[in-house]
A and B are shown apart, each in its own frame.
Chain A
Amino acid sequence: MTDSSLFDRDARVRRVVESDRDVAALFAVGGVCLLAAFVMFVLDSTMAVVPLVGFVAATGYGWFAHQAETARALTFLGTVSTVVVLGLITVYVFLEAWPVLQLMGVRLFGFTDPITVFGVTLLPGVESYWSTSEHVYSLIPMIWGTFVTTVIATLIAAPLGIAAALFLAEIAPPLVRETVKPAVEILAGIPSIVYGYLGFVTLNTFLFTNLEMANLGSLFLVGLVIGLMALPTVVSVADDALTSVPASMRDGAIAMGCTEWQTMKSITLPAALSGVSAAVLLGIGRAVGETMAATVILGHSQRLPDPLQDVFDNTETLTSLIASQYGNADGLHMNALFTAGVVLFVTVLILSVGARRVEIRMERKLGGGE
């Protein structure tokens, strides 16, 4: 009796240990296969398919023999791969940009006139801003173009978007809110190329005739279109921020005899400020990275507007530079386009981290306020 129970336990323990060993072996095989496949793919070997099949086989076996452990490992792999993808993007975009980063150095941000302070050259000048034949690549005109269009877009999308969010979240009756909010979210989905087409076919000629401009296409129009495009996104996110303000805060103000407008101005908006700023930052991020509208509307000349503040001039943005030149670029020229990508990538990453920080602060503040 005791013998058999002892035997039983032994067997169970052995089974568990064996199963553990089995799982460990399985993970080792699967992991090595996947790693091998990845490395071979990166090294551009078509043989990568062999270890990949091995990985699939190991996973298949694991799914039937040790489902729980396999599932857990697979979810872990999924998580890791998001980091890997971001890593790959960073590495490859930088890698391709490297030759030109090396060639130009700080002159990547150089003006045609060197910047000197007390006889010390801080920023050496470039012969011309963008010359593919002489391999001189300065991103200054494109950065200026992106900056100008982003500022115009923000000036449109931020105030109007926040006001509209205020209307949706605080003023509109429930029925209006329930129909308009989804409508705004759907409008946020209009593809940018559609805006671009509209700008190219209709708005370009409209401004050309009615403002008697020297050229079709202008930074002003691009900013206008991008601002319009970013509006629904800003409205929707800012509305979420406003509605997440606890009702108790609002009720307190109303109970003190404030009008609804006073409550909005002095309680709701300040409380939701971080969320609303995050919405605006998201909008700015979208404006910086917006490609198609700028590409289609602008006439692509890689120079600074003359004079600088002329928003009706027809120059270039970082995104439209890439989209308009990739087709006939190779060698250093292509690498130069990647430097534009690097600048975009870094800018937007900073904006996104900033927005996330602000959001975290809001969550903490509202959580603590309750």
Chain B
Amino acid sequence: MSHTDESALAAERTGTAQRLASAVVGVGLVTFVLSLLSVARILTEETTLLGVGLYDFLALGALAMGVGVVVLGVGSRTGAFETNPDDTPGLVTAALFGVGAFVVAGLVASQTLGLGTLGWFALAAVSFVVALFAVALTPEDIGSTLPAGGVAVGAAALVLGDVLAPGFAWEPVGFSATFTGAMVAPLVLAVATLVASWAAAKAYEGYGSRGRQTGAYLLVGINAVGILTVLAGLLAFIALKGVGPATQGFSLVPFEWPFVTNGYSYQPDIVNGVYPAIVGTVWLVVGAVITGVPVAVAAALFLTEYAEQGRFVGAVEIATNGLWSTPSVVYGLFGYAFLVPRLGGSTSLVSGMLVLGFMLMPLCLITSREAIKAVPDEYRDASAALGVSQWETIRSVVLPAALPGVLTGVILGVGRIAGETAPILLVMAGGLRDDAPDVLGSFEFTSAAPYVANDALLQSAPALPYQLYATITAGVSAENAAEFGWATAFVLLVVVLSFYAIGIASRIYFRRRLNA
């Protein structure tokens, strides 16, 4: 008995329904990706696939999916396929189809039929209610496949029937944009294929709670892959555009890398580079670390080791969170109002350092505090049991144990501030130039207070993120401004993301060691 059950189950796994459902999902994924590529205009309506225009090809795919999904649903209802559907697809599914019906009916009524607000709203509301109840009151297999199939077939019909042809143009009243068929058709097809794929995924597992899980996993998975693809594509795009100009004239022996070692000389025959900006960014980071990190670590130590939970600690926590979330441009305003007049009266490197140091403070404080908290109390107890004083314990036990965590926080914080543009916009500025700021060589003693002066610190200095902004606003030497910008963006990205990568890698490493 049990044996036959098992073989029946095994047979069902590869039954017709499963094969059909997988085929629909497969076609769906391909159509979906191609549709999105068409929305991004990487593929256009002029592309032909297998002798058919791209949009018609996609529509045919959607049509096949729609028919397949309907077959899956009807087959399950008539008993041709072994399934175990619930009584209803569920209220959420019904409501989503209802919203879809509302949007479609509303758009058709207002844009195509030209009804007034009251007219289209009434029609849309009626469609919503009808769709909601129609879906909610039918059994799950019919209720989720027929509407989904309908959506796919409908979208396909619109495109194949040349209603949504590339020539289609919709200019909604009150928006200064025109939606052309070239953009709208693939977008509609992408949505339709997604809906049909979801229905097919449900059918694959024979509906029921397992079917719903498969359907949901499909959508969640597509979303996750999509996000990663878009972000990775973005990085790849910048790398693609930036690597060429950034490595112009690069050679290993003898070592030459003009883009990184040259300044911006405004001379046609010399490769313009970002060396001053790199040096400026390094100095900014050094200054910010010197200002922000000691204060942050000290505060973290006080909060975890000395202070009792109370009103003062609560106030500090609020202040830290406030500082953490304060928009960077507000830091810039603050620097402009407070630091700039007191530090030489003009935009300067030292103001930039201090503002970024203030920004770094809350970032480091939060991570350092976590790191110090994570040091097990046994360490402290063991040290105290040996008669070691509290400060000695902190210095020789707690701090060394927390050091990796603190360092990780510093690295991540530095990554964040190194890419900040908005604050230095107001307090440092500093455009494209040929020579790097010489901070160490500019110290000199003066007879009047403050007795030490440093011209390089009190002048504007270039920095990578600001330089990228400057290429946009100043539109540097028009000829290859875009290329110079891409290359700068690439270098900036490499610098910032390396900080992040190192910080995150070290965090993973130390966390693993702590848990081992």
Tell me whether B323 and A86 are in contact (CB under 8 A). yes
In the assembly, what is the distance between CA of A260 and CA of B216, in Å?
Answer: 11
Residues of A within 8 Å of B394, CB to CB, are 71
Tell me whether B209 and A78 are in contact (CB under 8 A). no
Nearest CB in chain B to that of A72: its residue: B306
Q: Which of B210, B329, B390 contacts A259 (CB 8 A)?
A: B210
**Is B178 close to A, CB under 8 A?**
yes
Tell me whether A212 and B180 are in contact (CB under 8 A). yes
Tell me whether A292 and B422 are in contact (CB under 8 A). yes
**Is B161 close to A, CB under 8 A?**
no
By secondary structure, the B interface counts as helix
Residues of B within 8 Å of A184, CB to CB, are 228
In the assembly, what is the distance between CA of A290 and CA of B325, in Å?
Answer: 11
Tell me whether A47 and B426 are in contact (CB under 8 A). no
**Is B489 close to A, CB under 8 A?**
yes
User: Which residues between 169 and 190 of chain B lie within 8 Å of chain A, taking CB atoms?
Assistant: 169, 174-180, 182-183
- Say whether, besides A191-B421, A192-B419, A72 and B391 are in contact (CB < 8 Å): yes
Residues of B within 8 Å of A345, CB to CB, are 326-327, 330
Residues of A within 8 Å of B497, CB to CB, are 186, 189-190
In the assembly, what is the distance between CA of A211 and CA of B469, in Å?
Answer: 26
Tell me whether A323 and B425 are in contact (CB under 8 A). yes
Tell me whether B327 and A289 are in contact (CB under 8 A). yes
Residues of A within 8 Å of B505, CB to CB, are 182
Tell me whether A349 and B319 are in contact (CB under 8 A). no
Nearest CB in chain B to that of A166: its residue: B220
CB distance from A202 to the nearest CB of B (A): 8
In the assembly, what is the distance between CA of A304 and CA of B238, in Å?
Answer: 34
**Is A356 close to B, CB under 8 A?**
yes
Q: How many A-B residue pairs have CB under 8 A?
A: 301
CB distance from B128 to the nearest CB of A (A): 20
CB distance from B61 to the nearest CB of A (A): 23
Which of A23-31, A92-100, A119-127 participates in binding chain B?
A: A92-100
Q: Which of B177, B298, B319 contacts A77 (CB 8 A)?
A: B298
Residues of A within 8 Å of B390, CB to CB, are 68
- Say whether, besides A68-B391, A215-B176, A261 and B216 are in contact (CB < 8 Å): yes
CB distance from B480 to the nearest CB of A (A): 13
CB distance from B443 to the nearest CB of A (A): 14
**Is A316 close to B, CB under 8 A?**
no
Which of B2-10, B16-24, B70-78, B333-341 participates in binding chain A?
A: B333-341
Tell me whether A211 and B319 are in contact (CB under 8 A). no
User: Which residues between 320 and 363 of chain A lie within 8 Å of chain B, taking CB atoms?
Assistant: 322-323, 326, 337-338, 341, 344-345, 348-349, 351-353, 355-356
User: Which residues between 405 and 444 of chain B lie within 8 Å of chain A, taking CB atoms?
Assistant: 412, 415-416, 418-422, 425-426
User: Which residues between 297 and 326 of chain B lie within 8 Å of chain A, taking CB atoms?
Assistant: 297-299, 301-303, 305-307, 315-326
Nearest CB in chain A to that of B305: its residue: A75
Nearest CB in chain B to that of A207: its residue: B177
User: Which residues between 187 and 230 of chain B lie within 8 Å of chain A, taking CB atoms?
Assistant: 209-210, 212-213, 216-217, 219-221, 223-224, 227-228, 230
Task: Name the interface size band of chain B.
Answer: 35 or more
Residues of B within 8 Å of A341, CB to CB, are 329-330, 333
Nearest CB in chain B to that of A345: its residue: B330
Tell me whether A82 and B361 are in contact (CB under 8 A). yes
- Say whether, besides A79-B303, A167-B224, A191-B493, A197 and B499 are in contact (CB < 8 Å): no
**Is B97 close to A, CB under 8 A?**
no
CB distance from B247 to the nearest CB of A (A): 18
User: Which residues between 2 and 50 of chain A lie within 8 Å of chain B, taking CB atoms?
Assistant: 41-42, 44, 46-50
User: Which residues between 170 and 204 of chain A lie within 8 Å of chain B, taking CB atoms?
Assistant: 171-172, 180, 182-194, 196-198, 200-202
Tell me whether A78 and B298 are in contact (CB under 8 A). yes
Contact with A along B353-385 (1 / 0, CB 8 A): 000001001100100000000000000000000
In the assembly, what is the distance between CA of A85 and CA of B418, in Å?
Answer: 21
CB distance from B331 to the nearest CB of A (A): 7
Nearest CB in chain B to that of A263: its residue: B213
In the assembly, what is the distance between CA of A48 and CA of B324, in Å?
Answer: 29
Residues of A within 8 Å of B261, CB to CB, are none
**Is A241 close to B, CB under 8 A?**
no
Q: Sort A-B residue pairs by CB-CB distance and give the 6 closest, nearest first.
A: A289-B327, A191-B419, A78-B298, A68-B391, A75-B302, A352-B325
List 10 contacting pairs A-B, 8 Å CB cutoff, sorted by A. Answer: A93-B333, A163-B223, A189-B419, A191-B420, A197-B486, A210-B180, A218-B177, A288-B327, A295-B469, A326-B426
**New A-B contacts (14) at CB < 8 Å, excluding given A164-B220, A193-B489, A220-B177:** A71-B391, A82-B319, A166-B220, A171-B221, A191-B418, A196-B469, A197-B489, A212-B178, A212-B180, A291-B421, A310-B176, A319-B422, A348-B326, A348-B330
